Amino acid sequence: ALWLRAFFVRRRRMLFQVEEIVTWRDWDAYRIASALHGKVTGSIMRGLWGFQRALGLFFAVFGGALAGLSLLSGRPNLLTVMGAAMLYFGIRQFRKKEAAEGVKSRAAQRAFQENVTDTPMRFTFEEDGFYVWEPSGSASYRYHALDAVWEDGERDYLILPGKQWWALQKGAFTKGDPAGFRDFIESKTGKAVEMIK
């Protein structure tokens, strides 16, 4: 009986494990990823982001030139201050990571902060399926049950039918290499992981 148990333990080898605390930030990240994933909303957001960066570049260049020229005149004045302010504003706009200020939505973040409680979760990924544990219970799923898998710079999103989803924080992998998770999940689901930019 011992060899039989060892055989099954070996067959159900854990390949990846994620242990994390799901917070309001994960919910907000999913909301933004979902908006950027949509064909129409994603195009609009990327367009706004491009405009925001172009505007930031314009202000940075114009403000820098204005401040520089006024300083070269040997008499710093109001134009120097205005140029420096425009330069600062331009750099801030150019460096923003959000696709648009509307996506960031302080109201949505406040709502999540007030209504989402921190939840410890564990995900284990094996050859035949994956397992999700949370304080309210646990469940197992086959890989083909996933509708889609998304990825951004900080998280992988597992999407099930009916708007059920999980966000796996890349820094929370306790087993397996997060960089190899993409290839693994693509091979198991038969679906390409969609990058959220």
The predicted structure's pLDDT at residue 19: 95
Give residue-wise pLDDT tens across range 87-132: 888 887 776 555 444 455 677 788 888 888 999 999 999 999 999 9
CA distance 144 to 190: 8
This prediction's pTM: 0.64
Return left, alpha or beta for 48; rule: phi > 0 is left, psi -120 to 50 is alpha, else beta.
alpha
How far, in Å, CA of 171 to CA of 195, rounded? 18
DSSP secondary structure of 150-193: EE-SSEEEEEEGGGEEEEEEGGGEEES-HHHHHHHHHHHHSSPP
Q: Which of 173, 125, 122 is nearest to 15 (CA)?
A: 125
What is the per-residue pLDDT across 30-61, written as a single tens digit (0 to 9) for each? 888 887 776 544 555 556 667 777 777 888 88
Q: Give the span between the Cα atoms of 153 and 176, in whole angstroms.
A: 18
